[in-house]
Chains A and B, each alone.
Chain A
Amino acid sequence: MSGSDPAASGLAALLRQAAPSRRGFLKVAAGAGGALVLGAQLPALAAETAAPKAMGPADPRPNLFVVIAPDNTVTVLIKHLDMGQGIATGLATIVAEELDADWSQMRSAFAPADSKLYANHFFGLQGTGGSTAVANSWDELRMAGAAARAMLVAAAAARWGVPVREIGVAKGVVRHAASGRSAGFGELAADAATLPVPQSVALKDAGDYTLIGNPALHRLDNESKTDGSAVFAMDVRRPGQVTAVLARSPRFGGTVKGVDDGGARAVPGVLEVLTLPMGVAVVARNSWAAMKGREALKIVWDDGKAETRGTAEMLADYRKLADRPGAVATDRGDAARALAGAVRVVEAEFTFPYLAHAPMEPLNAVVELKPEGGCTIWAGSQFQGVEQMVVAGVLGCRPDQVTINTVWAGGSFGRRATPNADYMLEAAAIAKAYGKAPVHLMWTREDDIRGGRYRPLFLHRVRAGLDASGNLVAWQHRLVGQSFLAGTPFESAMVKNGVDETSVEGVSDLPYAVPNLAVDLHSPPSPVTTLWWRSVGHTHTAYAKEVMMDELARAAGKDPVEFRLALLKDHPRLAGVLRLAAEKAGWGKPLPAGKARGVAVHQSFGTYVAHVAEVSMTDKGRMTIDRIVCAVDCGQVVNPDVVRAQMEGGTGWGIGHALRGEITLTGGLVDQANFDGYHPMRMSDMPRVEVHIVPSMERPTGAGEPGVPTAAPAVANAVFAITGRPLHDLPFSKAGAV
């Protein structure tokens, strides 16, 4: 149903013609088959909105978003990566609503990489992350849809000789009721393309929406992903393409000292062996030969600068660090003094393991050098803006000579958004060194599990105090874990006074009303590479915070939901999802012995989520998660079923890793290699998940990540309710609870 290969859909030709044009919307009629190609400079909005402030640098070229073809299809250019979160469907829905299109005529295609035209307005570069895609496209795509509609109406009015105000549009048909005339968008596209751009457009009232908020719309990628035809980077086949795999140091920070590549070169199908700064690449006719060739390499590694500790030693070092103050993230009131005066003090130490993203499609990219300099890349590209710059640096060309064709990504969970464009850099370096043919760099699953960029290993030490009435009076929270932004281009924006915001988010802004709050952070460096991982700092901060809250509620003799609600008076949306989840889960209703409910609530990426988990424990102390209720408030909802799917998936992601997920190191070597050691959640682990969405007229926020943080602590709190023993060390398998 949806095409995402611009070349295949003829979009590439349209875009090439569009590029030199200047003013307002494009007029592409002759030579492009009579299509209406619409983009900015976007007209002014008639209504005031709270749009993101930085709407991107001014560029004379139009950033195209909508193509209406004579065959009546409407293609929305998607500037964000769809890695499963459904953004292609979401952005097409926004355009379709203002255009009054019929859902069946909508298509999507990934926009070409160009940060000047397609920047994420929150980043200033083209890229997807932080659950920002809907929020930062909301205004511009509604405007694009409304402008296209206005031009179609104007074209119809001119053709029929009737006033614009007498024309209506519904379900993809432009109609003049009085005369009974009507036309499809495709019939009017060529005429519309010759008309001036409207100087301002009015947007619909939310009450008039028929597509936004409609739970019956099906995903645009539904067909191609159920018949095997969807093209991922792994499936790109260029003429003469060769496959490369790279042998990387088994210890983080190690480098190549010497290589005996005789065995590799003797493997039939191996074409070349290349020693590069990041490892030894084997280039071969096909994937199997490349992998066999790599197995036959004999490499001596220099571990002089490598991490040689195991995770046990690293945690021991973290504990020593936690004995002294770190960089101050939050200091409100006087937490130390208030704790000294508290009647009850609850203390806990939490440990969180390294975690791999392990998207189902291992990292890979196809790089084809251009004869004139630069290259063309096919990839599930998530940070196009960064990748163009990094690859340009490798090839010695301009960023705009790096053409990126974004294709469907087989998951990411943050892994494809790297500040140094790691796998793209490798692919470009190999393509440059090989020089003879398009190169497909493929990571294997072992490369992925052992290749780092993990959710950092973290240790939290928390002390919180209650007064004689059970009121929360003080909270002291110390975190120890690597910063993945230090030393990257993101450092200046996101690391302040030694505090990496992504390490402390979720506790540095603790929403519970506590007069004395102190949060500090140690960020010990290590060659082990780390990265944001679906919901970033909230993956560990929400857990520590919400498990602490249940321990405090018990110490105060209060119900966990009531205890939280009393402290959330200034946070009505948090309180709202908490109440909704509790009500839908039957909070307070009796359960049989050995069963209990647990709750957690959190805000991340502007979205509010609460989970209630219903858990059974066997005599042997093993848990079964019987049911999960999730309540979410993400403002106005574009696609309710996609939000539901993201909450289901986020819940599974949160619980799946909490059950058995951990990456450990021994002597600097990663102990796990594949899904037999790094255990993914499987069908039999997945609980029943019910999702309830809060109706809202607030601006839309994200759904990709916020379903994660509260899932695991809700389960842990249910276990705590049954056993009285809190789960402080993840994964749960460590406590024998799985």
Chain B
Amino acid sequence: MIRLTINGQERAVDVPEDMPLLWVVRDELGMTGTKFGCGVGQCGACTVHVDGAPVRACQTPVGTLAAGSRVTTIEGISGKAAEAVQAAWRKLDVVQCGYCQSGQIMSAIALVAGNRNPSDADIDAAMDGNVCRCATYQRIRAAIKDAAQTMRA
């Protein structure tokens, strides 16, 4: 049994230690907001927060999580940055197919939580690991700036 804290709850899962956090979350815990896109850390669709930092769940064997670390998925986000980012996403109608957007939003929350005035270069650096095949990038960029403005207000 592996114990982990996810979205504030203690959970125990009977899985091999090398199973990526992505599949623990999706297949064992039934939280499907975190997406499988590439399995090799190239697309960011599986982005979750571990102790507030964006992490690729597909590249995180569940056995490597440090004891006591807190995992947050799209289902468990809360707080000012999360609210600002999700509100901006809706205001600007960012989504198209939507499949990558959980990961985009998780990366964006981490960005604006730590940087309330991100430049275009900051956004490129923080978001280049999150692929959107619908190419909603222009709206993602605008939504991040909108959310950052909310954070500053």
Interface residues of A (CB under 8 A from B): 83-86, 218-219, 221-232, 234-235, 237, 243, 268, 286-288, 291, 358-362, 408-413, 442, 444-446, 641-642, 645, 648-649, 651-653, 656, 674-676, 680-686, 688-689
- CB < 8 Å: which of A408, A413, A688 contacts B133? A413
Q: Mark B11-50, 1 if CB is under 8 A from A, else 0.
A: 0000110011001001110111111111110110100000
Asked if B90 and A223 make an inter-chain contact with CB atoms under 8 angstroms apart, the answer reads yes
List B contacts of A681 (CB < 8 A).
131, 135, 137
List B contacts of A686 (CB < 8 A).
135, 137-138, 141
List B contacts of A268 (CB < 8 A).
16
List A contacts of B19 (CB < 8 A).
288
List B contacts of A227 (CB < 8 A).
33, 74-75, 86
Q: How distant is the Cα of A409 from the Cα of B98 in the complex, in angstroms?
A: 9
Asked if B128 and A287 make an inter-chain contact with CB atoms under 8 angstroms apart, the answer reads no
Number of interface residues of B (CB under 8 A): 55
- CB < 8 Å: which of A218, A235, A409, A446 contacts B32? A235
Q: How distant is the Cα of A653 from the Cα of B137 in the complex, in angstroms?
A: 11
Q: Please name 27 pairs of A and B residues whose Cβ atoms are closer than 8 Å in the assembled complex, sorted by A.
A: A84-B96, A84-B134, A218-B90, A222-B93, A225-B98, A226-B94, A228-B74, A243-B27, A287-B26, A359-B97, A360-B35, A360-B43, A412-B97, A444-B39, A445-B43, A642-B93, A645-B93, A645-B139, A649-B136, A653-B134, A674-B39, A675-B131, A683-B141, A684-B128, A686-B135, A686-B138, A689-B138
Asked if B89 and A358 make an inter-chain contact with CB atoms under 8 angstroms apart, the answer reads no
- CB < 8 Å: which of B23, B97, B135 contacts A656? B135
A234-B32 CB under 8 A given contacts A649-B96, A651-B135: yes
List A contacts of B16 (CB < 8 A).
268, 288
Asked if B95 and A225 make an inter-chain contact with CB atoms under 8 angstroms apart, the answer reads yes
List B contacts of A651 (CB < 8 A).
135
Asked if B134 and A221 make an inter-chain contact with CB atoms under 8 angstroms apart, the answer reads no
Q: How distant is the Cα of A235 from the Cα of B138 in the complex, in angstroms?
A: 27
Chain B, interface SS category: loop
List A contacts of B15 (CB < 8 A).
288
- CB < 8 Å: which of B37, B73, B75 contacts A360? B37
List A contacts of B124 (CB < 8 A).
683-684
B105 within 8 A of A: yes
List B contacts of A288 (CB < 8 A).
15-16, 19-20, 23, 27
- CB < 8 Å: which of A222, A676, A688 contacts B95? A222
Q: How distant is the Cα of A688 from the Cα of B75 in the complex, in angstroms?
A: 32
List B contacts of A234 (CB < 8 A).
32, 35-36
A251 to chain B, nearest CB (A): 23
Q: How distant is the Cα of A223 from the Cα of B33 in the complex, in angstroms?
A: 13
A361-B99 CB under 8 A given contacts A228-B75, A675-B42: yes
Asked if A286 and B97 make an inter-chain contact with CB atoms under 8 angstroms apart, the answer reads no
* B residues 77-128 touching A (CB-CB < 8 Å): 86, 89-90, 93-102, 105, 123-124, 127-128
Q: How distant is the Cα of A227 from the Cα of B85 in the complex, in angstroms?
A: 11
- CB < 8 Å: which of B32, B39, B89, B105 contacts A445? B39
Q: How distant is the Cα of A13 from the Cα of B80 in the complex, in angstroms?
A: 41
Asked if B98 and A408 make an inter-chain contact with CB atoms under 8 angstroms apart, the answer reads yes
List A contacts of B36 (CB < 8 A).
234, 287, 362, 442
Asked if B27 and A286 make an inter-chain contact with CB atoms under 8 angstroms apart, the answer reads yes
Q: How distant is the Cα of A226 from the Cα of B105 in the complex, in angstroms?
A: 8
- From B24, which residue of chain A is reached at the shortest CB distance? A288
A360-B33 CB under 8 A given contacts A648-B139, A683-B128: no
Q: How distant is the Cα of A635 from the Cα of B38 in the complex, in angstroms?
A: 38
List B contacts of A653 (CB < 8 A).
133-135
Asked if B128 and A682 make an inter-chain contact with CB atoms under 8 angstroms apart, the answer reads yes
A616 to chain B, nearest CB (A): 15
Q: How distant is the Cα of A224 from the Cα of B105 in the complex, in angstroms?
A: 13
Asked if B73 and A228 make an inter-chain contact with CB atoms under 8 angstroms apart, the answer reads yes
- From B85, which residue of chain A is reached at the shortest CB distance? A226
Asked if B32 and A675 make an inter-chain contact with CB atoms under 8 angstroms apart, the answer reads no
A641-B93 CB under 8 A given contacts A226-B105, A286-B27: yes
B140 within 8 A of A: yes
A360-B135 CB under 8 A given contacts A226-B90, A408-B97, A410-B98: no
A-B residue pairs, 8 tightest by C-beta: A228-B33, A652-B135, A410-B99, A84-B97, A225-B98, A84-B96, A228-B74, A235-B32
